[in-house]
Chains A and B, each alone.
Chain A
Amino acid sequence: MKKKYTVIDTPVHNIDGIAKVTGRAKYTFDVTLPNMLHGKILRSPHPHAKILNIDTSKAEALNGVKAVVTGKDTLGVKQGIWRRYKELCDEEILARSKVRYIGEPVAAVAAVDEDTAEEALDLIEVEYELLQGVFEPLEAIKEGAPQLHEHAERNINVTRHIEWGDVEKGFKKADYVREDWFRCSSQAHVCMETHGAVASFIPEGKLTVWTSTQSHYYIQVLLAGVLDLKENDIRVISRYTGGGFGSKFELDSAQFCSSLLSMKLCKPVKIILTREEEFMATKRRTPMFYYVRAGVKKDGTFLAKEARVFTEGGAYTAMGATALYLTGFFQTFPYVWPSYRYDGYRVYTNTAPTSAMRGFGAPQATFTAETQIDLIADELGIDPIEIRRKNGMYPGYEVPGQAYIQSCGLSQCLDKIEDWVKSRGKLPPNRGIGIAAYGFMSGGIFNWFDTPYAFSSALVQVNIDGKVDLYIGSQDMGQGSNTTMAMICAEELGVHVEDIRLHMGDTDKCPVDLGAWGSRETLMQGNAVKRAAAEAKRQIMEFAVAKMAPNIVYDLDIKDRWVHLIARPERGLSYYDVVKEAIRGKDGQPIIARGHYTPHRKGMISPAYSFGVQAVEAEVEPETGKITLKHCATAHDCGQVINPLGVKGQLEGAIAMAAGYGFTEDLPMDEGKILNPNLVDYKLLRATEMPETEVVEVETYEPEGPFGAKEAGEGLTNPTAGALSNAVYHATGVSIKDLPITPEKVLEALREKNEKKEK
């Protein structure tokens, strides 16, 4: 069969690959500038306290110390990423009068080296007046609980309501109703490159910041806001980012403090967070207390659902407001629920702020929903695949008032996973297979950031030798978007990936894109790139038409560097030759084209949704409760696959992270203090614990995506915890509703089950 595309849908090496395997790729951590100083941040040891006084004189007197800054040296701007809503901009970064979590920055030092800066931190004297803290959302929301922010009574930070259909009627009609309480734990992003920045301010009034980020544009704008500089007097550079996963698109302490210090000194200042700081004081996955009630017919048809969520917000809003909305929306995904009511409450607590993390509220929703669906199916004697098939979303379905589903490969995914489950045959004792279905957005349409720019833009310049400069604003943090964009550009323009010179990660040179979060890049930046490339191609073909003078009804195209008649592909010209002449014809100007994408009238959430079904096979040792993952098979609809190699990598990586969420990773705290802030006690999956991974791509065509593509990497974090909890249920008969599913919890549940049996 002739392939439809010459570039996309064929595995290609990541275009940054050689730089990465040779160690040449320069991350923020690797940036060194002449006369550079090193900074360190002093953080609050208390979860809740007033700052009465900070004496920095001894630190300033230390040999080698160049500057110390505290909240007094700032403009005191309360910032936040939800810029449209003033009350949600609540974080100063360098606290002026009050600290609200352990690890909150109170001062920063610049010195000749890290050791000196560290020593200086010990010499800063902070006088605190301790306040009572509150650490659990269900406590913090009570009347009379300590209040974190003056404006937030009962510590309620944001509330969310979603409703459609007649919920009461739905429950009345139901033959079976069940309700469950779940607790979803926190999770740390654990980017291998910790947060960091090198800031360099020059007397001309310009600030350059190298930083590890998912969105150089957001950092530029947020810095401008807190430093009172013009956005374009700030240049943010971020060529390689050592992991993001949702942790790196808000303004962080390294960026802010290094900028402040550099502005004071007119010298470059570098701050790289330690792993411990990273755990204690950067943002994390939102813990949620989930109540879910569902009503269904005897035959398994879904009728009504009600969900209530209290999230542990931590001390500030961060991106938590989005997670609160998305978890409510994805609670029904990927199913048709004729009626639904959701109420979410984000509650301030004296803990490190919780925010975005890969999946963005959806892993919590999927874990709770999918666990409950298996319990319902079991109760009604319906096969888990069958109940999902019966109620699954389908192309053309409209989530009332929320979203319109165009492409949807859910039913094909269910078929594939059914085949896989059958192929496993009869399982040995203590093994179970659990499945979970999921979906995810391809970029958010919401604009809480209040950007006046298009959501994504791209610029293409075709040069005399046929090489193409592609300027994009999206950020590659490892997910491979640079390669995806180069492939989309090459495919559309009819050239090879090697012809593309990609420019990214620099606000001085690249058009605005909102960055790599919410699975935006493939669809949004991809559409912008495709449009820019199409416009460049149109310009090139104008010259080709003039030269070839075909019958006016014929169309031209470029493929594989060959400009040709579509109807007579052998009749054509070399792309290189046409480009040369076209540029000559344009009085020597290179061919320049722009493209942009902003979603309009695409519902409340996203222009397109990915779908999938995952099966996890797990073994549970009845004596110890120990869980071993054996297999993880996924059927995955991400529309048209752009780079098969990249998609597979996303899938396997997501499984590791999501399985960690399901059964090993947690951030236990005592009075707001994280007890395991290191990579020994925080258990993420190691190579020896990875299951075998099987994947089947189910291809659909998404009309809204470039070449029919949609989200491919983030949604895969959604199903694993739910599939795992179902696997444990089918292996042991106990359902654990409290993440992570640890051996202790399994043992305890087994003991309870046996006790009941004995009675």
Chain B
Amino acid sequence: MKKTLLNITVNDETFELYIKPKKLLVEVLRDELGLTGTKRGCNTGACGACTVLLNGVTVKSCSVLAVQAEGAEVTTVEHLADGAKLSALQLSFLDQGAYQCGFCTSGMLMSATALLNEEPKPTREDIKEGIHGNICRCTGYNSIIRAIEAVAEGKYREKR
């Protein structure tokens, strides 16, 4: 299959890549760029483990062709922390124990990040809706909801 050129910005870095046109965004992130923080739990858009931000909006990167991200800005979990300084959500996830096996965590964090960017003061229902597309088999979600709530309540403001 003929490869095509993809211009893409990932975590503030621009890349020019030659890829097979049928490559999914999740594959390019993981296999071409080595950003394995983004996971894959189903490959059919049903679990949210592969959630990333595409121009600031959440997408399931297993349901997007990489070529659809031409010229776009992609943010993955690897970009949430600033060096050793974790984001408010990351800190809050630690405090609340909002992860266990950790396999859904990257996708959860990306959904939560987008949710708070869009709606800094979400209700509990908003939060539940915001992560409805992300399956977690380990935690039962409530710790994740508490973690997002804590950030929305401003508990981590000084640490940002």
* Inter-chain contact A18/B134, CB cutoff 8 Å: no
- Which residues 90-148 in B have Cβ within 8 Å of A in the complex? 90, 93-97, 99-106, 109, 127-129, 131-132, 134-145
* Inter-chain contact A678/B46, CB cutoff 8 Å: yes
Rounded to whole Å, the gap between the CB of A719 and the closest CB of chain B is 14
Q: How far is the CA of A646 from the CA of B46 in the complex (A)?
A: 28
Stretch in B2-10, B64-72, B74-82, B149-157 with 4+ CB within 8 Å of A: B74-82
Rounded to whole Å, the gap between the CB of B125 and the closest CB of chain A is 8
Chain A CB within 10 A, most for which of B40, B96, B100, B129: B100
* Inter-chain contact A693/B142, CB cutoff 8 Å: yes
The answer to whether B38 has its CB under 8 Å from any CB of chain A is yes
- Contacting residues, chain B, for A189 (C-beta < 8 A): 137
- Contacting residues, chain B, for A654 (C-beta < 8 A): 140
* Inter-chain contact B37/A22, CB cutoff 8 Å: yes
Question: Could you name 6 residue pairs across A and B whose Cβ atoms are closer than 8 Å?
Answer: A20-B99, A240-B101, A245-B137, A649-B143, A686-B135, A693-B142
The answer to whether A546 has its CB under 8 Å from any CB of chain B is no
Q: How far is the CA of A478 from the CA of B138 in the complex (A)?
A: 7
Q: How far is the CA of A193 from the CA of B136 in the complex (A)?
A: 11
* Inter-chain contact B137/A646, CB cutoff 8 Å: no
- Contacting residues, chain B, for A652 (C-beta < 8 A): 139-143
- Contacting residues, chain B, for A240 (C-beta < 8 A): 101-102
- Contacting residues, chain B, for A11 (C-beta < 8 A): 97
The answer to whether A657 has its CB under 8 Å from any CB of chain B is yes
- Which residues 1-54 in A have Cβ within 8 Å of B in the complex? 11, 13-14, 16-27, 29-30, 32
The answer to whether A242 has its CB under 8 Å from any CB of chain B is yes
Please tell me the number of chain B residues within 8 Å of chain A, measured between CB atoms.
53
Q: How far is the CA of A543 from the CA of B28 in the complex (A)?
A: 58
The answer to whether B42 has its CB under 8 Å from any CB of chain A is yes
- Which residues 43-97 in B have Cβ within 8 Å of A in the complex? 43-44, 46-47, 49, 76-78, 80-81, 86, 90, 93-97
Which residue of the partner chain, among A25, A245, A679, A690, contacts B102 with CB atoms under 8 Å? A25
- Contacting residues, chain A, for B102 (C-beta < 8 A): 16, 19-21, 25, 240, 242, 478
Residue in B closest to A691 when the chains form the complex, CB atoms: B142
Which residue of the partner chain, among A649, A684, A686, A688, contacts B100 with CB atoms under 8 Å? A649
* Inter-chain contact B37/A24, CB cutoff 8 Å: yes
CB within 8 Å for A275 and B137 given contacts A20-B105, A687-B132: no
* Inter-chain contact A23/B77, CB cutoff 8 Å: yes
Interface residues of B (CB under 8 A from A): 30-31, 35-44, 46-47, 49, 76-78, 80-81, 86, 90, 93-97, 99-106, 109, 127-129, 131-132, 134-145
* Inter-chain contact B135/A192, CB cutoff 8 Å: yes
Rounded to whole Å, the gap between the CB of A695 and the closest CB of chain B is 10
* Inter-chain contact A275/B43, CB cutoff 8 Å: yes
The answer to whether A211 has its CB under 8 Å from any CB of chain B is no
Which residue of the partner chain, among A19, A242, A649, A653, contacts B103 with CB atoms under 8 Å? A242
Counting from the closest, the 10 A-B pairs by CB-CB distance are A23-B37, A478-B101, A20-B102, A242-B103, A652-B140, A478-B100, A656-B140, A23-B77, A679-B46, A192-B103
Rounded to whole Å, the gap between the CB of A397 and the closest CB of chain B is 32
The answer to whether A618 has its CB under 8 Å from any CB of chain B is no
Residue in A closest to B109 when the chains form the complex, CB atoms: A21
* Inter-chain contact B135/A648, CB cutoff 8 Å: no
The answer to whether A655 has its CB under 8 Å from any CB of chain B is yes
Which residue of the partner chain, among A30, A192, A656, contacts B101 with CB atoms under 8 Å? A192
- Contacting residues, chain A, for B47 (C-beta < 8 A): 192, 275, 679
- Contacting residues, chain A, for B97 (C-beta < 8 A): 11, 13-14, 645-646, 648-649
Rounded to whole Å, the gap between the CB of A111 and the closest CB of chain B is 15
Given contacts A652-B142, A656-B140, 20 further A-B contacts (CB under 8 A): A14-B99, A17-B94, A21-B109, A26-B36, A27-B103, A190-B135, A190-B137, A192-B49, A193-B103, A275-B41, A478-B102, A478-B138, A648-B143, A657-B140, A678-B44, A679-B42, A685-B141, A687-B144, A687-B145, A690-B141
- Which residues 333-359 in A have Cβ within 8 Å of B in the complex? none
Which residue of the partner chain, among A24, A29, A646, A655, contacts B40 with CB atoms under 8 Å? A29
Chain A CB within 10 A, most for which of B36, B49, B78: B36
- Which residues 609-662 in A have Cβ within 8 Å of B in the complex? 645-646, 648-649, 651-657
Rounded to whole Å, the gap between the CB of B60 and the closest CB of chain A is 12
A78-101 to B contact mask, C-beta < 8 Å, 1/0: 000000000000000000000000
Q: How far is the CA of A687 from the CA of B122 in the complex (A)?
A: 15
CB within 8 Å for A21 and B128 given contacts A27-B103, A649-B100, A656-B141: no
Q: How far is the CA of A692 from the CA of B143 in the complex (A)?
A: 11
Q: How far is the CA of A23 from the CA of B39 in the complex (A)?
A: 9
- Contacting residues, chain A, for B78 (C-beta < 8 A): 22-24
* Inter-chain contact B105/A653, CB cutoff 8 Å: no
- Contacting residues, chain B, for A646 (C-beta < 8 A): 97
CB within 8 Å for A23 and B99 given contacts A657-B137, A680-B44, A688-B128: no
* Inter-chain contact B109/A680, CB cutoff 8 Å: no
Task: State the main secondary structure of chain A at its contact with B.
Answer: loop
Chain A CB within 10 A, most for which of B38, B47, B90, B141: B141
A659-696 to B contact mask, C-beta < 8 Å, 1/0: 00000000000000000001110001111101011000
The answer to whether A226 has its CB under 8 Å from any CB of chain B is no
Q: How far is the CA of A397 from the CA of B116 in the complex (A)?
A: 53
- Contacting residues, chain B, for A693 (C-beta < 8 A): 140, 142
Q: How far is the CA of A100 from the CA of B117 in the complex (A)?
A: 52
- Contacting residues, chain B, for A656 (C-beta < 8 A): 136-137, 139-141
Rounded to whole Å, the gap between the CB of A648 and the closest CB of chain B is 7
Q: How far is the CA of A678 from the CA of B135 in the complex (A)?
A: 13
- Contacting residues, chain B, for A686 (C-beta < 8 A): 132, 135, 141
Residue in A closest to B76 when the chains form the complex, CB atoms: A23
* Inter-chain contact A191/B137, CB cutoff 8 Å: yes
Rounded to whole Å, the gap between the CB of B76 and the closest CB of chain A is 7
- Contacting residues, chain A, for B35 (C-beta < 8 A): 23
Rounded to whole Å, the gap between the CB of A275 and the closest CB of chain B is 4
* Inter-chain contact A243/B131, CB cutoff 8 Å: no
Rounded to whole Å, the gap between the CB of B137 and the closest CB of chain A is 5
Residue in A closest to B77 when the chains form the complex, CB atoms: A23
Q: How far is the CA of A653 from the CA of B136 in the complex (A)?
A: 9
Q: How far is the CA of A685 from the CA of B41 in the complex (A)?
A: 16
Residue in A closest to B102 when the chains form the complex, CB atoms: A20
Q: How far is the CA of A692 from the CA of B78 in the complex (A)?
A: 32
Q: How far is the CA of A57 from the CA of B45 in the complex (A)?
A: 36
CB within 8 Å for A18 and B86 given contacts A275-B44, A680-B46, A688-B128: yes
* Inter-chain contact A193/B41, CB cutoff 8 Å: yes
- Contacting residues, chain B, for A649 (C-beta < 8 A): 97, 100, 138-140, 143
Residue in A closest to B47 when the chains form the complex, CB atoms: A679
Rounded to whole Å, the gap between the CB of B120 and the closest CB of chain A is 19
- Contacting residues, chain B, for A243 (C-beta < 8 A): 100-101, 103, 137-138
- Contacting residues, chain A, for B40 (C-beta < 8 A): 29
Chain A CB within 10 A, most for which of B76, B131, B140: B140
Rounded to whole Å, the gap between the CB of B154 and the closest CB of chain A is 20
* Inter-chain contact B100/A479, CB cutoff 8 Å: yes
Rounded to whole Å, the gap between the CB of B99 and the closest CB of chain A is 5
- Contacting residues, chain B, for A515 (C-beta < 8 A): none
Q: How far is the CA of A11 from the CA of B96 in the complex (A)?
A: 10
* Inter-chain contact A275/B139, CB cutoff 8 Å: no
Rounded to whole Å, the gap between the CB of B159 and the closest CB of chain A is 14
Which residue of the partner chain, among A19, A26, A192, A692, contacts B104 with CB atoms under 8 Å? A192
Q: How far is the CA of A369 from the CA of B61 in the complex (A)?
A: 45
Q: How far is the CA of A273 from the CA of B103 in the complex (A)?
A: 15
* Inter-chain contact A687/B99, CB cutoff 8 Å: no
Q: How far is the CA of A22 from the CA of B144 in the complex (A)?
A: 16
- Contacting residues, chain A, for B96 (C-beta < 8 A): 645
Q: How far is the CA of A678 from the CA of B81 in the complex (A)?
A: 33
The answer to whether A105 has its CB under 8 Å from any CB of chain B is no
- Contacting residues, chain A, for B140 (C-beta < 8 A): 649, 651-657, 685, 690, 693
* Inter-chain contact A22/B90, CB cutoff 8 Å: yes
* Inter-chain contact B86/A687, CB cutoff 8 Å: no
Q: How far is the CA of A16 from the CA of B128 in the complex (A)?
A: 26
- Which residues 563-621 in A have Cβ within 8 Å of B in the complex? none
